[in-house]
Amino acid sequence: MTNKPYLRIATEEAWASKELYDAYRKVLKTKSYVDAGFDSLWNFYLDNPSPRPTNVLRRLMDLTDERISDMDDTGIDKQLLLLTSPGVQVFDAALATELARSSNDQLAEGIRKQPARLAGLAAVAPQDPAGAAKELERGVKNLGLKGAVINSHTRGEYLDDKKYWPIFEAAESLNVPIYIHPQTPSPQMVGPFLERGLDGAIFGFGVEVSLHMMRVMVAGVFDRFPKLQFVIGHMGEALPFWLYRLDYMHTATVAANRYESMKKTQRRISEYLKENFYITTSGMAWQPAIMFTQNVIGVDRVMYAMDYPYQFVPEEVAAHDTLPISDADKKKLFQTNAEKAFKL
């Protein structure tokens, strides 16, 4: 595990604070925000005595001994930490802003204690877009964080709405990426997923993020902010596998003038995905998918991630190590793409 010509940087690794758990418990108890997807996810993980939620919750809060030991045991040199889903995005604007700021301070302190092993992204509260932009600036300039994490929809609203674009303006100005991490489908769409237990990582997470990213692309976000960079996990939430059809049907739909909300964009969907997105392998240690995505999106745009501690499978590290690609491309996958994207 140690004889390798590259560092292993894992780029979608979760963490959480006790105060975030306490705030989730209060929401669930008081029903101050009604979201069946959030209820399904956190009623399972909070205070559940079975092994999986117990182990996940413990590891989420640890920024020292157990996390570093797990990294050592699996050959991970550095983790990029993201506040776990849905982060602060279920709360009202005032509480969300307070929790984001506190979380970023705690994360920065944890990183200061392990600077060679940990890096992180700033949590922001999109509920207050101008405040989120300021907190991103504080996180990057004052705390040394490497970008923002936004856990997809915010109380059922999506970032293609122009009221959220000050966050994009700040990220582009700071030259840092935004990681769009999944959460359960929005209240408007979660019902059919819940009926068959498909609301979480098995399916609902990916569907929700891919829908969100399509909304952002067709709304012209990257025409307005051409240098803005997004990162999405889980092998691109299936978008790379739809590239041909996305390009064809977007062009055809625009030409038909079918929707007032869909106008011609400056570039094709596939061009945005190749130029404005990095894609991580979190939860998808599967050779055919990794190599396909490297082929269609580019070896400079695909990065390794484990999805710790939700998907903590040491064998998946070796699955990446043994990919039938050159050492130079493995170094891009494990190390240099992450260093470039997040300025590590």
Q: Which structure tokens are listed for 181?
A: 């991490």
Q: How far apart are CA 88 and CA 226, in angstroms?
A: 28
Report the DSSP pairing between strands 148-150 and 122-123. parallel
DSSP 102-140: HHHHHHHHHHHHSTTTEEE-EE--TTSHHHHHHHHHHHH
Helix (H, G, I), strand (E, B) or coil at 158: coil
CB neighbour class for 114 (10 Å; exposed up to 12, middle 13-18, buried from 19): middle
* Bridge partner list, 118: 79
Helix (H, G, I), strand (E, B) or coil at 148: strand
Q: How far apart are CA 307 and CA 343, in angstroms?
A: 20
- Which residues are catalytically annotated? 307
DSSP letter (8 states) at residue 82: E
Amino acid at 238: A
First to last CA, the chain: 22
